[in-house]
Amino acid sequence: MTTRDIAQWLDPDLHYPGIPSTTHPKGRTYDVAGPDRETGLRWTMMANLGRKAASGETLDETELASLDNGDERSFEEQVLGAAYAAMVADGVADANIKTIARDAFYNFTSGEQIADLVLRGEAAARAAARADEKPKKAAAKRTAGSSSNRASGVTPARTRGQASTRSSKTPAKAQVRKTA
């Protein structure tokens, strides 16, 4: 019989390095604990019902009632757990807390690739909304090659335990030098 040591793949927690705050302007790592089985199943059901509603299907009362577990905490508090209190105490921006909570939620319920797609889609939607709000003359004033200071389309860096080397950021393409 073969014995396998899979402990290195069993870390359900997410680790968010370099998150800036008032207390830690250069960034700090926040660790978000993975949910227990019951919570994970409820969150997965919540994600599935969200997809169903987004596709235009009607949710019945039984489905909606199944989501209520009596927990009065905010979505961010439920998903981030102890990391939420640490982020609030450190003065992490509210938008960053919300983004990290959504990233963690989709990581726990649908996986890292879906979480990346969701956050990239949200960033693209925000960028499109900002573009629609700007007067058309403002676009003409930009010089060629100028860009926004915002990092649209970039998802938060996160890791799972020590064994993971995965990153949500795409590695830079290697520069090819042409010689004559």
Q: Which of 150, 158, 94, 160 is nearest to 124 (CA)?
A: 150
Angle, nearest 10°, between helix axes 94-110 and 82-90? 160
Question: Is residue 148 domain-resident?
Answer: no
- In this prediction, residue 169 has a pLDDT band, given cuts at 50, 70 and 90, of very low
Instruction: Give the chain's domain count.
Output: 1
Question: Is residue 31 domain-resident?
Answer: yes
Question: Is residue 159 domain-resident?
Answer: no
Beta bridge partners of 30: 16
Q: Domain containing 76: what range?
A: 11-134
Question: Is residue 168 domain-resident?
Answer: no
Percent of the chain residues past pLDDT 90, beyond the cut: 41
CA 54 to CA 52: how far, in whole Å?
Answer: 5
Question: Is residue 19 domain-resident?
Answer: yes
Q: Identify the residue whose tokens are 């090819």.
A: 176
- In this prediction, residue 179 has a pLDDT band, given cuts at 50, 70 and 90, of very low
Question: Is residue 106 domain-resident?
Answer: yes
Question: Is residue 141 domain-resident?
Answer: no
Question: Is residue 57 domain-resident?
Answer: yes
Mean of the per-residue pLDDT values of the chain? 80
Q: Look at 37-51, 64-78, 83-97 and tell me which has the smallest mean pLDDT.
A: 64-78
